[in-house]
Structure 1
Amino acid sequence: MPVVEAAARAGRPLEFVQYWGKGPRTGIAAPDLACLDYLGQLAERVRQVYAPGALFRLIFTDTHASLNGHPAEAADAYFGAIDAAAQARGFASTRLSDVVAFAREIGADTPQEEPTGEILASLIACAAKWYRGEGSTEQGALDYHRMNMVEKRAVAAAFPEAVFVTFNGSEFRDLFPATMPVFYMYSLRRGVGVKPWFMDAQPAAQPAGQPVA
């Protein structure tokens, strides 16, 4: 993998970036902490075989939270709590709105792409679960796709030497940065793909699933 080889040649940590979304909960909870610990275990495994180690950077998807109808105050409080827990584990973080603003400054935010029927159907199904914004779920799904087409270019421009991590499946590959390698992983443990921000504070055993942030 070229980004790994480049990091090794430079003797710098291998960088991973991933989205962290906002679900119905207003506060940090056990699933969030379990996920952060799971990511920390991955970072430790990297350190065991590669001395410079790994840097995990969470990209808080404040843009998606706003689209989905979450009040800014609730999103700020949740992301702030996750940020504190992430920093305690040695992770870095940023807001997706800041990444997009950077991309616009350097002219890397361009063209729109229309979703295919298959991915649009998946996004509409996800919007039916989580979209609470104005308008129909279909419009919410289309707006979400348009945002992602800009955001994936922004992330690639801001972190060209990183690996993009996702809890989604490969069927959503079109939403991820085209020029970055993608690492698909479970969220809390093997067999669990539900994102922690969509889980109840004290979840029962849950099957793997792939709702979009």
Structure 2
Amino acid sequence: VNSIIDAYMREERTTILAIVPSNQDIAIVDVLERERRVDPEGSRTIGVLTKPYLIDDGADSQLFDILENKSNPLKLGWVVVRNRSQADINSNISMLEAHRKETEFFCDHPEFARLPSAACGVTSLTCKLTSTLVVRTITLMPQMKEEITKELMGVRAEVDKLGGALGRTHSDKRALLRQINSEVIKILREASGDNYGNATFNSRPELILCTRANA
């Protein structure tokens, strides 16, 4: 699993969501250690702090330094969200109600209320992620088109090597078999006459040795 995660994070096109519980020591969080290795400038990482209701007294200053991008800065910034708690899940509250409770939490909190609205809430995270993906898609589109074109040309070349399409009717299939049979006979005749100019021998030089040995 770790190798799969690292492979996706190393991909330059990947936008990394570094999700960190607010009550954890950010200095030792695994996802940020991985992020620093693959995105040292923080140019494609969005930081997400969760469970803000669990922060200990006195830890607020560290949390707000992060949200204000003073500590562990990321070019795409940080957002704090309040998802449904386990009690909310057990009570089966709706997403609409969860959104209302989240909004109330940040508006009523004396410290979170002073932060820009773009730094708080799932809606803000959604907007940030959407705008980031749009910008990155537009930026990377020319490169993606070029790569897709190369892949398509390679696939078409492989398909061309397979020859024409197999006919639908018995008559078409018999005609194709006769054509293949004629081509094989032609190659064998050329080889038996020590004529290796056919393209088949250029792509399969080992056949030259076989025909010479048989001769």
TM-score by length of 2: 0.30
Instruction: Find the structure with the greater CA-based Rg.
Output: 2
TM-score by length of 1: 0.31
| Structure with more strand by fraction | 1
Task: Considering Cα pairs closer than 8 Å and 6+ residues apart, tell me whether 1 or 2 has the greater RCO.
Answer: 1
| Structure with more helix by fraction | 2
